[in-house]
Amino acid sequence: MTEARALVGDVPNVTLHDIPTNDAWTRDHGPTFLVSSPGSPPALVDWGYNAWGGKYPPFDLDDAVPRRVAEVTGRRRFEPGIILEGGAIDCNGRGTILTTEQCLLNPNRNPHLKQADMERFLADYLGAKKVLWLGEGIEGDDTDGHIDELARFVGERTVVAALEENRDGPNYCPLRENFERLGRMSDQDGRPLDVLALPMPRPIYYEGQRLPASYCNFYIANHVVVVPQFDDPADRKATELLGRLLPGREVIGLPARDLVWGLGAFHCITQQEPALA
């Protein structure tokens, strides 16, 4: 905590809470905050967490993070009793959720649940009116296809989706299929999606392992958008596209090669909390 305070400095609107974890990826093990309706107490969803299908034990401290957050914030806590990581879902704020079959239907999470069961949980705990299912993730992604490496909402009907130009690369076919699926999809009101391509950076390897570098792992904050940069010619193209699609926010490109060595980026290490109603 002392080191964290030294790094953050004296920022009046920042409160630090000392919550022990096994790992840094709060997008996945942290809670999903719920927006309160008038007169309702603030709340959060405490999904179960098993380190992406039991890949990286121990994860007991990470699994306890939502409960600890509820304690320090005073928020009401809902516990569905199923495994779900925050990076596996993306929402347009109007009831449409993006996710992938590879992750949410993976037997290493909830082997007893089918697609219809998952959609019911998303409806009951997140108010989902429609769930849009993409297929496979990118090479090197140990999360089994998290949506925050593949496609993200940047508006109620506008989606950016990663697209690989190299026909010989392993990501070409799965990303092309996901892009084409999105082109046939619609939102909760039946309106077609406006789908734009985000480029993929050139492959990055560490000790022979392909790393899951993707510009889709950007983070949208109140007044800024933080976009991962990989020392790649496509960095500028991705940042400029997101700047056009998210006017009113400053788009900032930050180096992310060190983060992607840990198999994540800025969206993975953040979890936004909405302002209280």
What positions carry a catalytic annotation?
Answer: 268
Closest CA to 21 of 1, 6, 35, 45: 1
DSSP 37-70: PTTPPPEEE--B--HHHHTS---HHHHTHHHHHH
DSSP 232-261: STHHHHHHHHHHHHSTTSEEEEEE-HHHHT
Burial profile 115-127: b = 16 or more Cβ within 10 angstroms, e = fewer: eeebbebbeebbe
Contact 217, 148 (CB under 8 A): yes
Give CA separation, 15 vs 12, 131, 134, 210, 244, in Å: 8, 34, 37, 37, 32
Cα angle: 183, vertex 184, 188; to 5 degrees: 105
Give CA separation, 155 vs 91, 97, 236, 245, in Å: 10, 12, 21, 8
Distance CA(24)–CA(54), nearest Å, equals 16
Distance CA(140)–CA(27), nearest Å, equals 18
Give CA separation, 45 vs 103, 112, 133, 272, in Å: 19, 21, 21, 13
Residue with tokens 């959060």: 44
